[in-house]
Amino acid sequence: DVKVTQSSRYLVKRTGEKVFLECVQDMDHENMFWYRQDPGLGLRLIYFSYDVKMKEKGDIPEGYSVSREKKERFSLILESASTNQTSMYLCASRFPGSGANVLTFGAGSRLTVL
């Protein structure tokens, strides 16, 4: 089975800190995604990457950046964390084959910004 691993399950940071959320997948998937999950809002796409060194803005990219230097790793960066970025962050990957493309998700990283 594909595994998507988010190294930090729980983080507490202070306003203004730089935050790195790491995601690693082990099945050579080309596409990777970062979502933010908030109660009543579902999942909203922050950034995605179709392949190494490629990135595309999702629906809510403001305040975030990403890095994809290696195929297996997709990092989400909060340059200067703010309290409104307190949320659950979910990473996902997929292989862009034929048919509907199923995402495989990590367990999530719950970030609290004080």
Partner 1 sequence: AQSVTQPDIHITVSEGASLELRCNYSYGATPYLFWYVQSPGQGLQLLLKYFSGDTLVQGNKGFEAEFKRSQSSFNLRKPSVHWSDAAEYFCAVHYNQGGKLIFGQGTELSVKP
Contact 4, 91 (CB under 8 A): yes
SS3 35: strand
19 lines the binding site for partner 1 (CB under 8 A) = no
54 lines the binding site for partner 1 (CB under 8 A) = no
Cβ of residue 25: shortest distance to partner 1, in angstroms? 12
Q: Considering only residues 67, 73, 103, 112, which one is a binding residue for partner 1 as defined by CB under 8 A?
A: 103
Contact 57, 43 (CB under 8 A): no
98 lines the binding site for partner 1 (CB under 8 A) = yes
Name, in order, each residue with C-beta under 8 angstroms of 30's C-beta and a sequence gap of 6 or more.
50, 51, 71, 95, 96
Give the binding site for partner 1 (CB under 8 A): 4, 31, 33, 35, 40-45, 48, 50, 58, 90, 92, 96, 98-103, 105-108
